[in-house]
Amino acid sequence: MSKRILVAFVFTLTAATARADFDALVGVVQRSRGMHRIWTPGISLVRLGVRLVHPEGVYDFQLAMFEGSANVDFESVLRSTPGTPMLRAHDNRSGETAVIWARPLRGDLVELLILAHDPDDQTVVLRTVIDGEMLAREIADPRHAPRIARR
């Protein structure tokens, strides 16, 4: 039990300094030359269902997908957000980049904002509101460790 509390506490402290804005990130990606947004039919109905049911501790999400073989200006991305990212990973060989911001909301809720960019394929911006306690339980559960390690 104390491990779960420690994981949740560390995650909350880390998340307290990270902030980002979904619309600002979508705007930066849209302004990148060669990128165009992909229409995702039915996403509004799925979002409504998630807001009503809260499957697996997810309370809300927003999704924007882009297509095009262009490089996103990550300096503009970082300037468009008021906080520093919690995680930033870049593969020099493939050019793939992932950036994650997190911040606590009311109660146990945590907002995650994820930007994943593949210069030869797609770019995805995802914002989700999740139950931080449930996330900590899932991470700390030893039954999930082999599945997580395989990824």
pLDDT digits (tens, 9 = 90+) for 25-59: 888 888 877 788 888 888 889 888 888 888 888 89
Q: Alpha-carbon distance 79 to 93, whole Å?
A: 25
Q: Which two tokens stand for residue 84?
A: 């520093």
Give the model's pLDDT for residue 5: 52
Q: Alpha-carbon distance 143 to 63, whole Å?
A: 30
Residue among 120, 67, 49 at smallest CA distance from 91: 120
Positions of the chain with pLDDT lower than 70, given as ranges: 1-20, 73, 80-82, 144-151
Give the model's pLDDT for residue 151: 57
Give the model's pLDDT for residue 3: 55
Give the model's pLDDT for residue 63: 92
